[in-house]
Amino acid sequence: MTIPKPAPRIQRFERLAYGMFIHWGLYSQLGKGEWIMHQESIPKAEYAKLKDSFTAEDFDGHKIAKLAKDAGMRYITITARHHDGFSLYDTCGLSDYDAVHSPAGRDLIADFIQGCRAEGIVPFFYHTTLDWYQDSFQDDFDTYLEYLRKSVELLCTNYGPIGGLWFDGNWSKPDADWQLDALYGVIRRYQPEAMIINNTGLEARGQVIHNEIDSVTFEQGRPRPMDRRGMPKYVSAEMCQTMNQHWGIGLRDFAYMSPRELIVNRAACRKVRANYLLNVGPTATGEIPAYEAATLLRVGEWVRLYGDLIYEGKPVPITGMGDDFALEYDGKVYLFIHNLSIQGDPNVIRMATGAGPRSFIGLDRKITKARWLDNDEKLDFAQDVESGLLVVNATRYPYGTNLVVRVAELT
């Protein structure tokens, strides 16, 4: 069976490779995560009072876009509206439950768009399909779906070209007719080059739910290789992940991931040419918390170290040991090698193992040279071209260095 060729918009999306996810809204003022209204059964009228204290005084679209750029990210997906039904954008009369009618007094999505344009970041909009605020979601679903389509039309017509729409919530009514042809038709009419993504959630990672879907999602889980043989269209993949256990800010959630873990996940996504969408939860007033900002910048240093390879590298049928894998870029093969030890005195270095022979199977071309990209150190290797076996002597990191995932270039 043949593999379909990706549409230009999907090719562009795959080259973006790494993006920032932003979950921010009224719930951020409570600091207990984005589902707090539902989790604590807060009455709608009581929860809606949070609008009266939503100032967004520290939200700066340009500052956020610059952080994303400095972190090596090429796109941002922001919660234009989350499940609580509050919109960060001007709903232009559809509702007064939006940022314009709060003390913020401005269209925060317009601010976000301006920042993205200034820094060359591609903007994407997360938009809920589930709504805890609109009574019609439960009482008159057809009326609600019309409201949803009109909301999406505003996002497609008021902010210029966008990268795509990222939907979430269809899993809340699995047996309902969501009239997806009409919803996606709005996007194709006004933003034909926009990606259409609809999150299938934790229980249905990687599923394609409609023929207009351009990318499947892997929420909080590493993406599997996509088997595109016989598919009617080429569909890309994206892993979305939080740094802790909440999408919106959790003030008492201290279980943050380390740069090491994020680098490993960043590499694992590229192994199967999936994008990595890494979430931050801004404060009540819209500022990226210090730990999250610092972590993004630290991971960004690793991304910059390997440059275009991280964005443009493509999977090849070469299998490594454990988490090790290979990508091809610009006619060369690159080996991504994990869990190396550091050179140093045994009184200082805790892990003495981890270096030595690493084998790869499936390499069908003769290699003349192998070297670490970071310091140009040449590596010894042995190869059997006929069987496709390559064994590289992966040396230790110099003292003062640990890249978590180290890349060797084969010539």
Question: Is pLDDT at 352 greater than 60 in this prediction?
Answer: no
Measured distance CA(381)–CA(327) in Å, rounded: 18
Region 277-282 average pLDDT: 98
Amino acid of residue 8: P
Provide φ and ψ at 307, rounded to 5°. Answer: 55, -135
Among positive and negative, which fits the CA dihedral 225, 235, 302, 327? positive
Predicted pLDDT at 353: 65
Calculate helix-pair angle for 61-70, 108-119, nearest 10 degrees: 40
**What separation, in Å, do the N-terminal and C-terminal C-alpha atoms of the chain show?**
32
Phi and psi angles of residue 305, each rounded to the nearest 5 degrees, phi first: -60, -35
What size, in residues, is the chain?
411
Q: Is the pLDDT of residue 349 over 90?
A: no
d(CA 61, CA 72): 17
CATH of segment(s) 314-410 = 2.60.40.1180
B/e letters for 347-371, b = 16+ CB within 10 Å, e = fewer, are eeeeeeeebeebebeebeeeeeebe
- Confidence check: pLDDT of 399 > 70: yes
pLDDT of residue 195: 98
pLDDT over 80 at 347, yes or no = no
Q: How far apart are CA 410 and CA 231, in angstroms?
A: 33
Task: Give CATH 3.20.20.80 domain extents, the chain.
Answer: 8-312
* Average confidence (pLDDT) over 31-56: 98
Domain with CATH 2.60.40.1180 in the chain: 314-410
Q: Average pLDDT of 80-103? A: 98
The span from the CA of 244 to the CA of 392, in Å, is 36
Mean pLDDT of the chain: 95
C-alpha–C-alpha distance, residues 236 and 248, integer Å: 26
Lowest-pLDDT range, 11-25, 218-232, 243-257? 218-232
Q: How buried is residue 343: exposed, middle or buried, by Cβ count under 10 Å (0-12/13-18/19+)?
A: middle
Confidence of residue 205 (pLDDT cuts 50, 70, 90): confident
Q: Which two tokens stand for residue 401?
A: 């260095």
The H or E element containing residue 236 is strand 236-241
Lowest mean pLDDT among 7-21, 202-216, 329-343: 202-216
Specify the pLDDT at position 200: 86
Its CATH class, for the domain covering 8-312, is alpha beta
Burial class from Cβ neighbours inside 10 Å (0-12, 13-18, 19+) for residue 80 reads buried
List phi, psi (to 5°) of 118: -65, -30
Lookup: tokens for 307: 């440059």
Tokens (6 digits) for 195: 């990606």
Q: Tens digits of per-residue pLDDT, 366-388?
A: 999 999 999 999 999 999 999 99
Q: Name the band, by pLDDT with cuts 50, 70 and 90, for residue 351.
A: low
Helix 141-157 to helix 180-190 angle (10° resolution) is 10
| Whole-number Å distance between alpha carbons of 350 and 358 | 21
pLDDT in tens, 59-74: 999 999 999 999 999 9
User: By the 8 A CB rule, do 391 and 381 touch?
Assistant: yes
Query: Measuring CA to CA, which residue among 225, 260, 224, 222 is closest to residue 405?
Result: 260
Place of tokens 């919530």: 169
pTM for the full predicted model: 0.96
Beta strands in 257-403 (DSSP E): 275-280, 314-320, 325-329, 332-338, 356-361, 370-372, 381-384, 389-394
Element (H, E) at 240: strand 236-241
Distances (CA, A) of 167 to 195, 217, 247: 11, 11, 15
Q: Which residues contact 301 (CB under 8 A, 6 or more apart)?
A: none
Residue 391 confidence (pLDDT) above 60: yes
What is the spatial distance between Cα 162 and Cα 77, in angstroms, rounded to a whole number? 10
Is the distance from CB of 120 to CB of 164 less than 8 angstroms?
A: no
- The CA-CA-CA angle for residues 26, 29, 33, to 5°, reads 80
Percent of the chain predicted with pLDDT > 90: 89
148-187 pLDDT, tens digit per residue, is 999 999 999 999 999 999 999 999 999 999 999 999 999 9
Query: Residue 81: which H helix or E strand, with range?
Result: strand 75-81
From the list 174, 176, 178, the residue with the least C-alpha distance to 212 is: 178
